[in-house]
Amino acid sequence: MKIVIVGGVAGGMSAAARARRLDESAEIVVLDRGEHVSWASCGLPYHVGGEIPEADDLLVQTPDKLRAALNLDVRTRHDVVGLDTAARRLTVLTDDGTDTVDYDALILSPGARAVRPPLDGLDSSRVHTLRSIDDATALREQLDRGAGRAVVLGAGFIGLEAAETLAARGLDVTVVELSSHVLPPLEHEVAWRVTAELERIGVTVRTGLAATAVEQGADHDTVVLADGTRLPADVVVLSVGVRPDTAVFEQAGIATDRGALVIDEHGRTNVDGVWAVGDAVTSTDAVTGLRRPVALAGPANRAGRLVADDILRPGSARPLPPTLSTAVVRVGELTAAATGADRAALRATDVYFHTLHLHPSHHVGWFPGAEQIHMMIHFRAGDGVLLGAQAVGRAGVDKRIDVLATAIRGGMTVADLVDLDLAYAPPYGAAKDPVNLAGMAASNVLDGTLHIWHVDQLEEVRRDALVLDVRSTAEFASGHIPGSLNIPHTELRERLGEVTAAAKGHPVRVLCASGVRSNIAHRVLAQAGFDSASLSGGMLTLRAAL
């Protein structure tokens, strides 16, 4: 069996290594157009910033080591420019000219290319993408020549990693994003804290705006924005998305959907003997069932392993799992992470769901160093199946999102989250971990113990209900919703008459700082016969909407 793999990084090299471990007799050839294989693209921003000083530190393997350890025939600077699926033959451009490579089984893991929008001036030498080690080297060289001002176009994960590292190198950085907030895959409640952190580390954030041109100058370029703003830039990082790098394979008759290779549950394309994985393929979303490309390293690596199984153990290989798009990013001192579906994705389905916000400490509050985690979860109405989660904070975020990703993958409900037996000692968590707390609060919502209202209902709540603020008088004095009544939750039982008088038969909508005290107050009011509800996430979430 001769297995040929196009693309020797995340998906491709995982497939190659697994194939070798399953079959010592297989001939395994890996073709990559680049200088390197098996290198850490995820480390590029940190190499630019200097946290990873040497580019060589990004090379996880070399062709020689791969030959020695796994007997792989790795050919770099081999660009696949043609595919004849009937003859099972690839045409390859090498330094020595054109060559052909035959295969019995072909695995395509060509990844994605940076999107280059049709803007004037993007051919400037000061404009950089961040997809390869060469890109990172070129950017570093430009910085070493003394760049002082940077504009990052696109505030997705890679754009923000670039912005963070450029700011850490002392550049004056502006991030420009077309969407209404940074990190568009995140909900605005989570993303606004990332914006605040970017500003804290000195990055200027411009959202809801497109760049319209890059004007090239002798000393510097100027990025022109749609509102006429002109941003001088010694360096521009272009990070506005990626597109599957599939033209050669599409031309050869491999079916695509908006450029992404279409695969079945085992990674097989429409053409016999051809499999595909990674950024170049469409994946099935685990929550919504929608198919779209997911440009993340984990799914690519795991899929590579599974297609090798399908080739060498036909009939017994597990199908590729649907993806949750679990992702995490560091921005300054913050970590932001998400898993599963967001509100927009859920609204596009016919699933009826609840959203809940919480702000628990990452470990018990009485142990030094406690930091708040700002969390939100989405869960299905009725049975409480967990659908998505996002969180941002200075500590403990990645752990909680990983637990919640595991829960979604396991089809768990919010009641199951209550029962999760998670590790606890004061420096690490709490006897009721934030994940348990999310499960408890969500279970209360499902069984009607907790009625919640949301910040997007603020206008109608102010019109139709009494807003009862149960924070302390000092907190109330520091800022409150105009027209709200302040009764600290500890005094509420004795002052219910004041609520009756102020509500005049209208509903009572309670709030506090984070939703904990307002839940207590809500229970007092509900049991006293009021139509009451507690603000999900309290003032800490309300701030995101203001």
Q: Which stretch binds ligand FAD (CB under 6 A): 297-305, 330-338, 392-400, 483-491?
A: 297-305
Residues 6+ apart with CB under 8 A from 406: none
Under DSSP, the state recorded for 187 is -
Judged by CB, which is closer to ligand FAD: 135, or 416? 135
Neighbours of 372 (CB within 10 A): 19
Can you say whether the dihedral through the CA atoms of 459, 460, 463, 468 is positive or negative? negative
Give the list of residues 6+ apart from residue 181 with CB closer than 8 angstroms, or none.
188, 191, 192, 195, 207
178, 196, 262, 297: which one contacts ligand FAD (CB under 6 A)?
297
Q: Using CB under 6 A, which of the segments 105-113, 282-290, 317-325, 450-458 binds ligand FAD? A: 105-113
Q: Does 75 bind ligand FAD (CB under 6 A)?
A: no
Instruction: Give the binding range for ligand FAD (CB under 6 A) out of 27-35, 191-199, 206-214, 383-391.
Output: 27-35
**Residue 155: CB partners within 8 Å, gap ≥ 6?**
163, 175, 176, 177, 179, 182, 183, 184, 205, 207
For residue 452, give the nearest of 405, 492, 512, 503 by alpha carbon: 512
> Least CB distance from residue 293 to ligand FAD, whole Å?
9
Q: Check binding of 45 to ligand FAD (CB under 6 A).
A: yes
Using rule CB under 6 A, residue 245 touches ligand FAD:
yes
Which one of 3, 12, 197, 305 is in contact with ligand FAD (CB under 6 A)?
12
Residues 155-194: x where in contact with ligand FAD by CB under 6 A, - otherwise, as a string:
---x------------------------------------
Two structure tokens written together for 312: 């060498």
- Smallest separation (angstroms) from ligand FAD to the CB of 9: 3
Applying CB under 6 A, among 4, 6, 191, 540 the residue interacting with ligand FAD is: 6
Closest CA to 312 of 354, 266, 281, 372: 266
82 or 232: whose CB is closer to ligand FAD?
A: 82
Question: Contact between 10 and ligand FAD (CB under 6 A)?
Answer: yes
Q: Which residues, 6 or more positions from 512, have their beta carbon under 8 angstroms from its beta carbon?
A: 469, 470, 471, 489, 518, 521, 535, 538, 539
Residue 8: CA count within 13 A, CB half-sphere: 29
Is 184 or 439 the residue whose CB approaches ligand FAD more closely?
Answer: 184
Measured from each CB, the residue nearest to ligand FAD is 278
> Distance (Å, rounded) from C-alpha 236 to C-alpha 128?
6
Asked whether the beta carbons of 405 and 298 are under 8 A apart, the reply is: no
Residue in 435, 501, 490, 499 with CA at minimum distance from that of residue 467: 499
Total residues in contact with ligand FAD, by rule CB under 6 A: 32
CB of 279 to ligand FAD, least distance (A): 4
> Residue 534 belongs to what H/E stretch?
strand 532-535
The DSSP H or E segment spanning 39 is none
Give yes or no for residue 11 binding ligand FAD (CB under 6 A). yes
Please tell me the distance from the alpha carbon of residue 392 to that of residue 401, in angstroms, as a whole number: 10
State which of residues 167, 296, 312, 524 lies at the interface with ligand FAD (CB under 6 A).
296
Q: With helix as H, strand as E and coil as C, how does 121-178 read?
A: CCCCCCEECCCCHHHHHHHHHHHHCCCCEEEEECCCHHHHHHHHHHHHCCCEEEEEEC
From residue 266 to residue 295, the character string flagging contacts with ligand FAD as x (rule: CB under 6 A) and all else as - is ------------xxx--------------x
Q: How far is the CB of 31 from ligand FAD (least distance, A)?
A: 5
Query: Should residue 109 be labelled a site residue for ligand FAD when binding is judged by CB under 6 A?
Result: yes
List of residues 6+ apart from 319 with CB closer than 8 A: 265, 266, 306
**Cα(166)–Cα(236) distance, rounded to whole angstroms?**
11
Q: Which of 4, 5, 17, 31 binds ligand FAD (CB under 6 A)?
A: 31
Q: Quick check: 7 binds ligand FAD (CB under 6 A)?
A: yes
Rule CB under 6 A: say whether 396 interacts with ligand FAD.
no
Residue 250 has phi, psi (to 5 degrees) of: -60, -45
Over the window 120 to 159, marking each residue x when it contacts ligand FAD by CB under 6 A and - when it does not, the resulting string is: ----------xx--------------------------x-
CA distance 453 to 449: 13
CA distance 275 to 225: 42
82 binds ligand FAD (CB under 6 A): no
Site string for ligand FAD, 362-391 (x = CB under 6 A): ------------------------------
32 scored as a contact of ligand FAD (CB under 6 A): yes
Residue from 9, 160, 437, 441 binding ligand FAD (CB under 6 A):
9
Strand-pair category, 532-535 with 452-453: parallel
Nearer to ligand FAD, 44 or 376 (CB): 44
Shortest reach from residue 106's CB to ligand FAD, in Å: 12
Residues that bind ligand FAD (CB under 6 A): 6-7, 9-12, 31-34, 41-42, 44-45, 79-80, 109-111, 130-131, 158, 245, 248, 278-280, 295-298, 300
